Amino acid sequence: MSKTQAIRHASRFLSSSLPRVTPAVYAVARPATYRSRNISSTPIRRDDKKHDAGSTSSAPGESGAHEGQFARTDESVRVEYPEEADLPRSQPVQGRGGSHHKRTLATFSLEDRVAVVTGGARGLGLVMSQAMVLSGADVAIVDLNKEEATRQAEQLMQSFRDENPGEENIPKVTAHYADVSSPDSVNSAISEILADHGKIDNLVTSAGFTENFNAIDYPHDRMQKLWGVNVDGTYLFAIGVAKHLTDRKSPGSIIFIGSMSGAIVNVPQPQAPYNAAKAAVRHLASSLAVEWAHAGIRVNCISPGYMLTSLTKKILDDNPELQRKWTSLIPVLALHYITLHEGR
């Protein structure tokens, strides 16, 4: 045997006698080796003036035709939420909402359910109440304006009768007063609803409002009122209905009406407290969904963008420049808004 062959045989013997390990274990067992790399540094070259001109800290258009014009709030925009008597009336959506000839899943039916809608006398709350009626639910409309809620409840039932002639099973729609920011008022409204309907299966918290003040000048009492309605009102009604559902040992569904403002900063109107309030509503939904999952209570949050309600239309009619900026930031719905606005 040559010297070379002897060395080869010895190497094979030694390698075969070593314990076999998986690559992962072997990789862990091996001592780590690090390679260092020199980091070259170059002097920072930044023209502060040019950089600032291209940001929202500069005057609009300072570094170009578009810079800073639509990514900032405008302190000159100020919209106060109108007093109750000045709020425009909302109308239910007109159209064939009765019998349908296209099939749908039976699980979407709300027959034999009782739904509560806060802020249900106007705007989104009203059309959500109408959708629930058309889906077979009995509905309790809760609003600060009991008279308006009563009028809308009667109109919803009449619309159902008109669109379903001969139908004997007419959904029951009732009106109830509540200041959603007050625990006593909320508990009183829930008790009244249970007396009228016997139970609650679903809740939609649509009561809410927004105002536009720059943060420094926002009156503190108005900010507290805003948080009271948007956040406290959502929380108070949710826990009231959840307690009823758990006492009944019944599953249910709760839907919070949030806003895109809970995830983004709207421009040009300044509305920091409202944005923060809707962010709170959004995360409150996630938190309660986890907390109440064991009881079969589903909690979800819907976050609409700009919606053309009667109030929104009035605000934009009074502020055409605000309307122009809003629609310029909605790439798909701008034409839809104009179509609605012009009545086409």
Active site residues: 259, 274, 278
Which has the closest alpha carbon to 244: 194, 197, 285?
194
Q: Do residues 108 and 101 make contact, with C-beta atoms less than 8 angstroms apart? A: no
List, in sequence order, every residue forming a beta bridge with 212; answer none if it has no partner: 79
**Cis status of the peptide bond prior to 268, with omega within 30 of 0:** yes
Given a contact cutoff of 8 angstroms between Cβ atoms, the answer to whether 125 and 117 are in contact is yes
Whole-number Å distance between alpha carbons of 298 and 183: 23
Strand partners of residue 173: 139
Terminal C-alpha separation, the chain:
101
Q: Distance of CA 271 to CAs 60, 75, 217, 274, 310, Å? A: 20, 10, 11, 5, 20
Place of tokens 């009028």: 151
Task: Please name every residue paired with 202 in a beta bridge, in sequence order, or none if there are none.
Answer: 115, 253
What is the per-residue DSSP string for 11-43?
Answer: HHHHHHHSPP--HHHHHHHSPP-----PPP---
Torsion, Cα 132 133 135 139, to 10 degrees, reads 60
Query: How many Å apart are CA 149 and CA 142, to the nearest integer?
Result: 7
- Other C-beta atoms closer than 10 Å to the C-beta of 59 total 10
Q: What is the distance of C-alpha 99 from the center of its chain?
A: 31
Dihedral angle sign, alpha carbons of residues 246, 248, 253, 255:
negative
Q: Which two tokens stand for residue 158?
A: 């009449």
Q: Where are the alpha helices (DSSP H) in 228-297?
A: 233-248, 272-291
